[in-house]
Amino acid sequence: MSGAMRRATEADRAALLDYLEPRAPTSMFLLSNLADYGFDRAHRNAMRYWIAEEGSAVTGVVGLTEAGTLMPQLPPDLIEAAAKAVDGETIGLLLGPTEQVTPLRAAIGLAGAKTQMVDDEPQLVLDMADLKIPDTPGHLQKLETAPRDMLIEWRVGYEIEALKTDPAKAEEIGTRDIDNWIERDSHRVLIVDGAPVSMTGFNSMLPDIVQVGGVWTPHALRRRGYASRAVALHLEEMRKSGVGRATLFAASEDAARVYMNLGFRLIGRYTICLFAEPERADV
């Protein structure tokens, strides 16, 4: 399986899905971007995919968004082939299972590149049948019902705290994200005593599995169980619609334990490697 990888086309969609869907918890962005944008490069999240094959079966995938996010779903013996496939490409962000991202980063010559952040986060999965909903106050409302300026402020806070984003750039990203989430109906706010207190959502949504992302509670309102309640209620909404599983990456071991109390179980670690500036892969 260590041969060269080639660019995938629309004709490869079925084989690509056959490979990625059984690995859905660690392939959510690869799958959701394919579902949302196909092989069209007209959107910043649209992707190019390179695949390895044995006969007609795909045996490994690496994807690169138009915005420069590189994502592998590879066995160890395809790391070098994947690096060669993306040689010369511009990479701003590297996402994926830690055991894949770490060697791939080295193979593309970026092990020593300056980073804005590198975080190996616990990854967890939930079977919806195991979901436990905290008996705490609050109900969910659509994002559009909350003040937009407040939501942007919350998202900017997340960018600065979690991703170490420059405040000026965080404002741009936060505004774009909130407007996108409202349009996609992907996020919710938790309301307690008539006021928004926490935000939750899904950054990838497929028919049978969703990926939690964008969870945020302002500092003054933390340690009251608001985020847990928000996440659980949104997952319950998905469970009622027929979704069977969920996954997420926890910001810390303490956060992972909170999610385990909702029924999640640990499956591994997921790396977010954000470079200080876009870097050119150099194999």
pLDDT digits (tens, 9 = 90+) for 65-82: 999 999 999 999 999 999
**Considering only CA atoms, which of 173, 169, 220, 176 is closest in space to residue 198?**
220
Per-residue confidence (pLDDT) for residue 39, from 0 to 100: 84
Per-residue confidence (pLDDT) for residue 42, from 0 to 100: 83
Tokens representing 11 are: 């004709």
51 and 11 in contact (C-beta within 8 Å)?
Answer: no
**Considering only CA atoms, which of 116, 184, 188, 175 is closest in space to residue 148?**
175
**Considering only CA atoms, which of 109, 105, 133, 135 is closest in space to residue 118?**
105
> For residues 34 and 49, what is the distance between their CA atoms, to the nearest angstrom?
9
**DSSP letters spanning 222-266:** -SSSHHHHHHHHHHHHHHHTT--EEEEE-SSHHHHHHHHTTT-EE
> For residues 264 and 187, what is the distance between their CA atoms, to the nearest angstrom?
20
Q: Does residue 100 have a pLDDT over 80?
A: yes
47 and 63 in contact (C-beta within 8 Å)?
Answer: yes
User: How confident is the model over 14-22, as a mean pLDDT?
Assistant: 98
Reported confidence tier of residue 41, pLDDT bands at 50, 70, 90: confident
Per-residue confidence (pLDDT) for residue 49, from 0 to 100: 97
Sign of the four-CA dihedral 146, 151, 153, 154: positive
Q: Does residue 2 have a pLDDT over 80?
A: no
User: How many CA atoms lie less than 13 Å away from 32 in the CB half-sphere?
Assistant: 18
CA distances from 150 to 48, 75, 163, 174, 189 (A): 35, 43, 19, 11, 11
Note the pTM of the prediction, 2 decimals: 0.94
Q: Does residue 44 have a pLDDT over 70?
A: yes
Q: Does residue 153 have a pLDDT over 60?
A: yes
Of 274 and 39, which is predicted with more confidence?
Answer: 274
62 and 85 in contact (C-beta within 8 Å)?
Answer: yes
H/E element holding 64?
strand 57-65
- The vertex-249 CA angle with 237 and 226, nearest 5°, equals 50
Question: What structural domains and CATH numbers belong to the chain?
Answer: 6-121+271-280 (3.40.630), 132-262 (3.40.630.30)
Convert the pLDDT of each residue in 221-230 to its tens digit.
999 999 999 9
Q: Does residue 89 have a pLDDT over 60?
A: yes
Convert the pLDDT of each residue in 101-120 to its tens digit.
999 999 999 999 999 999 99
User: How confident is the model over 43-59, as a mean pLDDT?
Assistant: 95
Tokens representing 217 are: 């509670």
